[in-house]
Amino acid sequence: MLKYVVEYEACALIFLIIVTVRFFCIRKYPSRLNTLFAVVLYCAIADIALDIASTFFLTYPDVIPLWLNYLTNTSFYTLQVVLPVLVLVYVLNMCNVWHGKYRLLWLSLAVAVLLILYVVNPFTKCIYSLVPTESGLELVHGAVFPLLFITCGIYLLASVVVVLKYKERIRKIEMYTILLFVTVVFLSIVIQIFLPNVLLTGVAISASITMMFFTMQNPEAMLDLVSGVFNYSALHEYLKGQTAEKRGLWVTAVDIGGIRRINSVYGLRSGNKIMRQAGDYLNKACGNNAMAFQMIGTKFLIISNNKKAHYEIINDVSTRFTKPWNIGDLQIKLIATIRYSEEPSCFSSSEDVTNLVDLAYAKAVGDEFGTTKPIGSALLEQSRRNMSVEEALRRALDTGRGFSLKFQPIYSIKEKGFCSAEALLRLTDAELGSISPAEFIPVAEKTGQINRIDGVVLDMACAFLRKHEELFSHGFRLLEINLSAAEFYHDTTALADEILKKIDGLESKICFEVTETAATTHRELLSDFMDRLIARKVLFAIDDFGTGFANITQLARLPFSIAKLDRSLIATEREKERIILNDVVNMFAHLGLETVVEGVETEDQALLAEKFGADEVQGYFFSYPLSEEEFVAKITEQEPR
């Protein structure tokens, strides 16, 4: 009879129990993956325990009845098949290709067949039989035994196929963990074939599960360790599940103000302590009918499953924040700005929810700080609309269709003709129709699509200039192109090189418009970028001057050639603001910059701009933005110069 080595399995069992205890001690967000992982843990523990027990029992046939011997062995072999099935179910869930009961039925089919074989095994002995020897019972494999390994192998291979097929839906680490999991188990089976007396499958299972625990199932990865509230990853996971089921959600956003002040006055430790108190409180307030998540910094999101719980929580939280919080002897007031939904909404993704909350808070400044207010339906609509616009942008960027340029001529007062123009982007989508840049540019900036868009505009603008060289003999000199502030978050050296390559030969015919706000927020990066382009004769204009609160001294340090004064400056009828416009034009003239007054809609405004000494004017009074053909016709109408 074989003398089995069970020590490795015993160690594996202890190891797995430690992992299990750890898993259950940490607060977990209730996801299907977590439940599945818990089931995997239980089954693995049972599997290893049964392996050890059955080996042990075999040596004491006098004490252990034969039926118990059959029962432990059969249970062990059953779990050997159930475990790979569970792994496959886990993987299907992870990849979000789990489609309910039918798949479960399908998956259980092989298990069911094996189960029947096991149940009848004591009579048929087709899988294994227990044969008495002098030193105990000996387990002898039957004709159907290899089926066990084949079934395991099929399920494990199926997991690999699913993971590889849907690898773009999961994180890399998840893919590698599952691949390694399967490899380790396969290896252990191979070793088992060559060393049948050394029990190793439990070791492989235990090692693989521990790996899973650390890479993808560690509940701590879903928690914010300071506040003790589930983090953004958990929110993402949670919403992924909820949105797949199209469930309506009641959301409440809570932004806690005052923590930063506590950090700076009382130190980070006190700040963290208070975050913990607030986090614990939010978790408790949620009870069983809601869940709290930390979106970012001091912003929390509570998702409730029903109306009653939703309103109770809002009430509870807003009341709690009227009272102070204690750290040691200190009594501290925190200010919660609360925004809640008034009806359950289905969200198509976690971004959908976070976009809505971002929008809700974008409006919560000044007096709105510390208030509790519903998220109006208009905001919900706007958030939805932004999502559709984002989709439309993606379609246009992917297909290369939908974008076009318009050209708004800019009138030179001195030369009495159109000397330059601004390239303005238009988007026409098959579903949404024509979308204004005032709407899609901010969306593109938020979603990071703006860089690609600016690139598309530059390509179209260069192609236009190369195609219509005749314009330059009719007094046209310069095309102004908008550059988004988002450009300056990236490596501006690479950006400058890329732009220079695109505009090769057209450098002196291009002027980039950078908004006043972007210019002062990214001064260092911008300065470097401008220097590189200016060395090659490209010009720069400050756009929308007068809309922000730019530091003029800082602006003056940047090598701008043109200042475009925002249309709000000319639109005003107030005498004092007119004086400001006059002074601004003078100031730029002294600094050596040309000025363009934007948004000139009437003759009076045009005359005023001239009187104040502006060099150029742009606006509907002179021309609307024109299509390529219209623009070329308009310029070529001018006397050749």
Output 475 or 625, the one with its CB closest to ligand C2E.
Answer: 625
Burial of 134 (0-12, 13-18, 19+ CB in 10 A): exposed
| Binding positions for ligand C2E, 587-626, rule CB under 6 A | 599-601, 618-620, 625
Output 47 or 454, the one with its CB closest to ligand C2E.
Answer: 454
CB atoms within 10 A of CB 600: 26
For the bound state, the minimum distance from the C-beta of residue 427 to ligand C2E, rounded and expressed in Å, comes to 10
Compute the distance between CA of residue 86 and CA of residue 328 in angstroms, rounded to an integer.
Answer: 49
| Binding positions for ligand C2E, 508-547, rule CB under 6 A | 543-544
Residue 474's binding partner out of Ca ion, ligand C2E, none, with CB under 5 to 8 Å set by partner kind: none
Residue 137's binding partner out of ligand C2E, Ca ion, none, with CB under 5 to 8 Å set by partner kind: none
Compute the distance between CA of residue 235 and CA of residue 245 in angstroms, rounded to an integer.
Answer: 15
Tokens linked to 345:
């909404």
| Binding positions for Ca ion, 301-330, rule CB under 5 A | none
For the bound state, the minimum distance from the C-beta of residue 33 to Ca ion, rounded and expressed in Å, comes to 48
Output 316 or 601, the one with its CB closest to ligand C2E.
Answer: 601
Select from 513, 516, 594, 615 the one that contacts Ca ion (CB under 5 A). 513
Select from 438, 469, 575, 640 the one that contacts ligand C2E (CB under 6 A). 438
Site size toward ligand C2E (CB under 6 A) is 21
Tokens linked to 481:
């192109």
Stretch that binds ligand C2E, among 22-30, 53-61, 380-388, 431-439 (CB under 6 A): 431-439
Q: Applying CB under 5 A, does 616 fall inside the site for Ca ion?
A: no
Compute the distance between CA of residue 85 and CA of residue 76 in angstroms, rounded to an integer.
Answer: 15
Angle (nearest 5°) at CA 513 between 508 and 519: 120
Compute the distance between CA of residue 526 and CA of residue 542 in angstroms, rounded to an integer.
Answer: 12
- The SS3 assignment for 208 reads helix
Output 351 or 543, the one with its CB closest to Ca ion.
Answer: 543
Stretch that binds Ca ion, among 1-9, 66-74, 191-199, 595-603 (CB under 5 A): 595-603
Compute the distance between CA of residue 191 and CA of residue 201 in angstroms, rounded to an integer.
Answer: 9
Angle (nearest 5°) at CA 535 between 529 and 541: 60
String marking each residue 382-401 x if it binds Ca ion according to CB under 5 A: --------------------
For the bound state, the minimum distance from the C-beta of residue 174 to Ca ion, rounded and expressed in Å, comes to 45
For the bound state, the minimum distance from the C-beta of residue 633 to ligand C2E, rounded and expressed in Å, comes to 19
Residue 601's binding partner out of ligand C2E, Ca ion, none, with CB under 5 to 8 Å set by partner kind: ligand C2E
Select from 436, 493, 508, 554 the one that contacts ligand C2E (CB under 6 A). 436
Compute the distance between CA of residue 493 and CA of residue 506 in angstroms, rounded to an integer.
Answer: 19
Q: How many residues does the chain have?
A: 641
String marking each residue 377-416 x if it binds ligand C2E according to CB under 6 A: -------------------------------x--------
Query: Would you tell me the crossing angle of helices 146-165 and 101-124 to the nearest 10 degrees?
Result: 170
Q: If you ran DSSP here, which 8-state letter would residue 65 be given?
A: -
Select from 75, 227, 482, 623 the one that contacts Ca ion (CB under 5 A). 482
Nearest Cα to Cα of residue 56 among 121, 9, 118: 9
String marking each residue 536-575 x if it binds Ca ion according to CB under 5 A: -------xx-------------------------------
Spatial CB neighbours of 318, under 8 Å, sequence gap ≥ 6: 336, 338, 372
- The SS3 assignment for 239 reads helix
Select from 441, 542, 585, 596 the one that contacts ligand C2E (CB under 6 A). 441
Q: Applying CB under 6 A, does 188 fall inside the site for ligand C2E?
A: no
Output 357 or 514, the one with its CB closest to ligand C2E.
Answer: 514
601: phi then psi, degrees, rounded to nearest 5: -110, -20
Nearest Cα to Cα of residue 337 among 257, 259, 283: 257
For the bound state, the minimum distance from the C-beta of residue 229 to ligand C2E, rounded and expressed in Å, comes to 37
- The SS3 assignment for 333 reads coil
For the bound state, the minimum distance from the C-beta of residue 572 to ligand C2E, rounded and expressed in Å, comes to 13
Q: Amino acid identity of 436? A: S
**Category of 619 on φ-ψ map: left (φ > 0), alpha (ψ -120 to 50) or beta:** left
Residue 546's binding partner out of ligand C2E, Ca ion, none, with CB under 5 to 8 Å set by partner kind: none
String marking each residue 541-580 x if it binds ligand C2E according to CB under 6 A: --xx----------------------x-------------
Q: Applying CB under 6 A, does 484 fall inside the site for ligand C2E?
A: yes
Q: Applying CB under 6 A, does 482 fall inside the site for ligand C2E?
A: yes
Q: Applying CB under 6 A, does 454 fall inside the site for ligand C2E?
A: yes
Output 57 or 612, the one with its CB closest to Ca ion.
Answer: 612
For the bound state, the minimum distance from the C-beta of residue 564 to ligand C2E, rounded and expressed in Å, comes to 7
Stretch that binds Ca ion, among 208-216, 227-235, 363-371, 594-602 (CB under 5 A): 594-602
Output 40 or 421, the one with its CB closest to Ca ion.
Answer: 421
Spatial CB neighbours of 497, under 8 Å, sequence gap ≥ 6: 532
In 59-145, alpha helices (H):
66-94, 101-124
Q: Is the dihedral of CA 98, 100, 105, 108 positive or negative?
A: positive
CB 250 within 8 A of CB 344: yes
Compute the distance between CA of residue 237 and CA of residue 253 in angstroms, rounded to an integer.
Answer: 18
CB 476 within 8 A of CB 407: no
Residue 429's binding partner out of Ca ion, ligand C2E, none, with CB under 5 to 8 Å set by partner kind: none
Q: Amino acid identity of 66? A: L
Angle (nearest 5°) at CA 123 between 119 and 129: 90
> Which residues form the interface with Ca ion (CB under 5 A)?
482, 513, 543-544, 598
> Which residues form the interface with ligand C2E (CB under 6 A)?
408, 424-425, 436-438, 441, 454, 457, 482, 484, 543-544, 567, 599-601, 618-620, 625
